[in-house]
Amino acid sequence: MAIYLCHEQPDLYDFAACVVQARPGALLLDRSALHPGGGGQVADRALASVGGETLQITGVQPEGDAHWHLLDRDVSLSPGDQIEVHVDRAHRSRVAQLHTATHILNALVFQRFAGALVTGAQISADGTARMDFDLPNVDNDHLRALEPDINDIIRQGLDVNAIYVSTQEAEREPGLIRSMSVAPPPTPDGRLRVIDIVGLDRQACGGTHLTNTGQCARIAVTKVENKGRQNRRVRIALVET
């Protein structure tokens, strides 16, 4: 798990960067505050200003340790060129709200349904998300009924902290890693990033989150469906007011 600049400085939305390498429709920068996505989360978006021209950064494509910033069109830039980058705050906020809300949903499912694990997740740019759980014997109405409890936790305004723990500590704490299929890789110095919703949940995660549940919009559980014999898919959406 990499430690991204957006982890260290979550309020850094505007920054200067230097082009390291350019290819058609993409730039490699010497620094970036964009989250590259992963683990079901979409990447950040941004605008880039260079030489009086404005470009859209539509996503980030990891290639090994490099993160290519995808552009909406080709542009002639060379190594050493300076650009100004402005992260799309509205997009970041939607994704952070949804990601925090999925952690609340995950916490309730884990607590109430015998430690059920996550089998898949997707956080989209349109204000919707879905989580799949290993819940072969649970009535879908019981999952739909979680909506008021999710929103109650949002209203409580619980602090959301990002901390780092050693892999040894993570192994000693049941439920810190919730996915059946994949575990977040450790940082280069052997730690895991953990999202701690104070008094509710601790879970390893490398995504973008709020700093308090009260910053999240109300959530609607829009659909619960069976996906095969084992899986229950819960779809949620932000309710704009």
Pick the CATH number of 92-239 from 3.30.1600.10, 3.40.50.10710, 3.30.980.10, 3.40.190.10: 3.30.980.10
Question: Quick check: pTM over 0.85?
Answer: yes
Band (240; pLDDT cuts 50, 70, 90): confident
Give pLDDT tens digits for 50-84: 888 899 999 999 998 899 999 999 888 999 999 99
Q: What are phi and psi of 206, to 5 degrees?
A: -110, 10
DSSP state of 160: E
Q: What are phi and psi of 151, to 5 degrees?
A: -70, -30
The domain 5-87: what is its CATH number? 2.40.30.130
Q: Give the DSSP H/E element, type plus range, for residue 58.
A: strand 53-63
Domain residue spans in the chain? 5-87, 92-239
C-alpha span between 235 and 26 (Å, rounded): 33
Give pLDDT tens digits for 128-166: 999 999 999 899 999 999 999 999 999 999 999 999 999
